[in-house]
Amino acid sequence: MNKTFMPTVNTEEALRQLQLDGLKWTVNHAYEGSTAYRTKLDAAGIGPEDIRSLEDLERLPFTTSQDLQEGYPFPLLSVPFEQVVRMHASSGTTGKRKVLCYTQKDIDDWTHFFARCYEMGGLTREDRVQIAVGYGLWTAGISFQLGCEAFGAMVVPAGPGNLDMQCQFLVDFESTVMCCTASMGLLMAEEVNRRGIGDQIRLKTMIFGSERSSDAMRARIRELLGLEHMFDIPGMTELYGPGTGLDCVHHTGIHYWADYYILEIIDPDTLAPLPEGETGEMVVTTLRKEAVPLIRYRTRDLTRLVPGTCPCGSVLPRHDRILGRSDDMIIFRAVNIYPGQIDHAFSGIEGIGSEFQVILDHRSDGRDYMTLKVERAQGGDDGADDELSRIVAGQIKKQIMVSCAVEVLDYGSLPRSERKSKRIFDNREG
């Protein structure tokens, strides 16, 4: 029997006890180790001794990305520098970048639960894992690698980009798993198809990081490569990095590592916790993180908790795929729209590709207009374009309650990217 990376507890009760112990430890550790946290907790009138049950979590103040920015360059650090062994940073798209420090134990914990991702995804030590994500300060290809080595599969540390080299590695090294962004996964699938090397490769699984994959994109990649499984791997720099959960082979939602962090879903406006099943903002509290513990950190990511238990029987709870960031939400004619809702609305329609762009304009009549550009499926007939655009507009209207003009373009005419693809173009003023 191979080593397992699954939780040491297997009942809900034991998991809750582990969470309570971790919560007590974290609040005490942050209070003792960080002036910023101590000030925050004192202001909220709550101290380490006040944490007696998991229900006390709700009494703790939120931590926000602003707290991380204000403490730049080393915010919320709760250990002396001599215990820090590494740092990573977010690319800093909004305001200053976020810098996070790690102790050796933090790295070991991260490596352990990242190995769990590969186990959860049904990999074996026979697998060969081509890691085509970035290495360095901004991204954490290194965590994909350390986790894979701890798990015991073979790493092909390819790094991002360079489709020609990636294809060659797939053929020569017979990689069975590829880790990349979903956009790059689609590019690879199209490239393998274009070169006609499908029968020379042994790829059976793709793991997508840093960007959510739409249903249509997954369907297209599956069709081109004949994959057995595709997984979305969640992660953010604030919470270690990638690898904080994975869907199992039943694909009923993302099992998240509740033995390493507590996940709450709150209403982003009222900040009240939401019941299971309702969509809201993810708030995370770490249970073992030393260098930069998180107490009720508001992630801005939107998702929901999946009720019930998974057919796999795991004690680990599930959240749905990330619907988008609350920062990415667009308001169009007084309707709140997340990019994820748009591809979800048209993803089941026959004859449409997976790529799309949304263009928002403010016209001289004083109103806002939305144009949705989609691609015809490969080999599709342009004679059906009018009918297709009518069907797509109808689905958008039905599911998101907004009207839009739909343009159907030739297959392959929207830009492909190896990184995250920009899909929303808001030309309205303000």
Give the binding site for Zn ion (CB under 5 A): 248, 250, 310, 312, 314
Token pair of 429 as six digits: 């003023």
To the nearest 5 percent, what fractions of the chain are helix, strand and coil? 35, 25, 40
Cβ distance to Zn ion smaller for residue 40 or 318 = 318
Contact (CB, 8 A) for 278 and 302: no
Cβ distance to Zn ion smaller for residue 186 or 254 = 254
- Rounded to the nearest whole angstrom, what is the least distance from the CB of residue 262 to Zn ion in the complex? 19
Cβ distance to Zn ion smaller for residue 33 or 234 = 234
CA distances to 131, 226, 286, 350, 356 from 193, rounded to whole Å, are 20, 11, 43, 20, 21
- Rounded to the nearest whole angstrom, what is the least distance from the CB of residue 117 to Zn ion in the complex? 13
- Burial of residue 274 (number of CB atoms within 10 Å: 0-12, 13-18, 19+): middle
Measured between alpha carbons, how far is 292 from 428 in angstroms, rounded to an integer? 39
- Rounded to the nearest whole angstrom, what is the least distance from the CB of residue 320 to Zn ion in the complex? 13
- Rounded to the nearest whole angstrom, what is the least distance from the CB of residue 120 to Zn ion in the complex? 8
CA distances to 9, 33, 142 from 427, rounded to whole Å, are 51, 46, 38
- Rounded to the nearest whole angstrom, what is the least distance from the CB of residue 312 to Zn ion in the complex? 3
- Rounded to the nearest whole angstrom, what is the least distance from the CB of residue 170 to Zn ion in the complex? 28
Cβ distance to Zn ion smaller for residue 198 or 311 = 311
Cβ distance to Zn ion smaller for residue 32 or 276 = 276
- Rounded to the nearest whole angstrom, what is the least distance from the CB of residue 229 to Zn ion in the complex? 13
Query: Which strand (E) or helix (H) includes residue 299?
Result: strand 297-303
Cβ distance to Zn ion smaller for residue 69 or 314 = 314
Cβ distance to Zn ion smaller for residue 248 or 360 = 248
Contact (CB, 8 A) for 298 and 62: yes
Q: What is the CA radius of gyration of the chain?
A: 22
Give which of 121, 113, 388 is closest to 229, Cα–Cα: 121
Length of the chain: 430
Measured between alpha carbons, how far is 283 from 142 in angstroms, rounded to an integer? 25
